[in-house]
Every structure is written in C-alpha cells, then in structure tokens.
Amino acid sequence: MHSIPQALVRAASLGSLAAFCAIAQAQGGAAPTRGELLYTTHCIACHTTQMHWRDQRQAKDWGSLKAQVRRWQATTGLQWSDADIAEVAHHLNRTIYHYAEPADRVSRLENASRTPRLGVSMRQPPASKGSTGAPS
C-alpha cells in the first residue's frame, strides 16, 4: 500500500477548507467586493488565512499591507492597477488585519460605492454658452 506524503494531505486539506470558506462567505448575501474577487481568484490558493496570522507576517500597518499586495501581484505577474492593489489591501484589512486606513482612502471607497456602474454618469452635461438651462 502506498502512503500519501503528510505535506500533500495537509496542503489539500487547507486548499479545500479555503475554497469552502470562500464559497460560504460569497453566499452570505452581500455581493463580494472587487478586492475579495481578485484575492479569491489569484491569491487564496497559496495565501490561506493561516498565512496572514503567522508571527512572521510582513504587513505591520496599512502602508506595509498595501506594499505586500503590490509586491506579490508583481511577483506573480498580475499587472494590477493601483486601484486593484488598494481594493485587495482593503479587503484583507477589513477581514483580517484591521489597521487604521487613511481618511481619504475610506472616503474614496464610500464615494466609489455610490458611483454608478457601467460608465453612466449622474452629472448633467455643462450648459452651452448662451443657454439658460431652461427647456425651449
């Protein structure tokens, strides 16, 4: 009879647990954020929750958390935008780290959640010169 290496069994168990948690969290009612979707798609296979709680973690505050997200997305060749990096860092901060975020970061997120999707703008186009804005 062949024995399965303990490390392989452990890795498979952690991977299954991470996938189950991601599915259970996604079914919690609220739509997942962009940061959560990016993290779940590209990071969770290697970076389980245990990775974030270890004693040697590199993220010690908001700035270093964002720097680690930037580092790892570059290492894996993902080419994320600054906004994507910020979204993933915010997801990790909201769910795991709970570091203080800059006030301008929080207000931008709140405003972004109110921004219409699909490129639709709620702003009125500027009135042309000589127009009073009243219907003719």
Chain segment 71-83, per-residue pLDDT in tens: 999 999 999 999 9
**Which DSSP letter does residue 28 get?**
T
Q: 95 pLDDT exceeds 70?
A: yes
**For residue 99, what are the CA distances in angstroms to 35, 61, 89, 132?**
16, 6, 10, 50
Around Cβ 133, how many Cβ atoms within 10 Å? 8
The percent of residues in the chain predicted with pLDDT above 90, rounded, is 38
- Distance CA(136)–CA(131), nearest Å, equals 10
- Distance CA(56)–CA(37), nearest Å, equals 26
Q: Which amino acid is at 32?
A: P
- Distance CA(59)–CA(56), nearest Å, equals 9
Yes or no: say if 84 and 38 are a contact pair by the CB < 8 Å rule: yes
The percent of residues in the chain predicted with pLDDT above 70, rounded, is 51
Q: What is the pTM of this model?
A: 0.56
Q: Averaged over 34-56, what is the pLDDT? A: 82
Yes or no: say if 49 and 18 are a contact pair by the CB < 8 Å rule: yes
Q: 131 pLDDT exceeds 60?
A: no
Provide the sign of the torsion angle of the four alpha carbons 37, 43, 49, 55, taken in this order. Answer: negative
